[in-house]
Structure 1
């Protein structure tokens, strides 16, 4: 099965890939050449650090190329799920006990970032939300125990 990826997430990964190839890779190649010019490579910390950085960059380039070539890019704007929660939904939740509100967008595993409120489609929270509708109440297993939330809004932002 191909891993789902939003079109925004695919664009972000393509931008990172382009930056790695056109900016970071040439910079580290230059740093290696400069460190080589300093002579003895056995005791040359700059050389070893640059080589390590090069390995990281090349690995990330391979990973991004593989991900982008094997992903199923889904245009969220074309989904017509109404108030039903599916991949790509932006969901607003209200804690039933505290009325604290939180908003999450359900995205592919490779683009999830909790700091930006992008949660993986395979996460426990997303799995609890998928298939539910605006107005439903859902119980989510949180680190501090079970929490009950009301789904107050479901949007699909392309």
Structure 2
């Protein structure tokens, strides 16, 4: 499974996102509609800061609902089948520019509650590591144009 075909999520992360989605759609959406209606009744909409703030909040909430809907619809849920090669759901220990780092290749949703940094498989570092194994060396071009050398020290499946 690669993240280009969807997002890998643990069952716990999927359930957490589903609960957030359900809360937004079934509870928060109705609350914000009520808030907008109350603010609308206060009078002139051009001068009504509360109305505009509620509409802004509604737009942010609808964007989050759409983001969650897409992630949940395209999620690959379950444990990673680890073959020793780095893919989404792999915890990597690597030497990056002479400094040892431990991070997850995947999505930030699954690492919530851990102290792991997260790099998506589409990030320059994540993409450079896909398919690599412990002992491999590779490099990637950082956003500033600098080439960064990476040595994979250890790779293991994410355990939560």
Given the two structures, how large is their TM-score scaled by the length of structure 1? Answer: 0.75
Aligned: 1:62 with 2:62? no
Which residue number corresponds to residue 121 of structure 2? 121
Label 1:36 to 1:116 Cα distance change in 2 as closer, same or farther (>3 A): farther
Q: Any unmatched runs of 5+ in structure 1?
A: none
Which residue number corresponds to residue 20 of structure 1? 24
Q: Please list every run of at least 4 consecutive aligned residues from structure 1 whose deviation after the TM superposition is greater than 4 angstroms.
A: 110-113
- Output the aligned Cα RMSD: 2.9
Q: Once the 2 structures are TM-superposed, how far is the Cα of residue 49 of structure 1 from its aligned partner?
A: 1.9
Where do 1:1-158 residues align within 5 Å? 2-7=5-10, 9-69=13-73, 71-75=74-78, 77-81=79-83, 83-95=84-96, 98=98, 100-107=99-106, 117-142=117-142, 143=144, 145-158=146-159
Label 1:112 to 1:146 Cα distance change in 2 as closer, same or farther (>3 A): farther
Counterparts of 2:130 and 2:150, CA distance in 1? 14
Q: Once the 2 structures are TM-superposed, how far is the Cα of residue 91 of structure 1 from its aligned partner?
A: 0.5
Counterparts of 1:30 and 1:72, CA distance in 2? 32
Contact 2:86 2:130 in 1 (8 A): yes
Given the two structures, how large is their TM-score scaled by the length of structure 2? Answer: 0.74
Label 1:63 to 1:87 Cα distance change in 2 as closer, same or farther (>3 A): closer
Contact 1:91 1:104 in 2 (8 A): yes
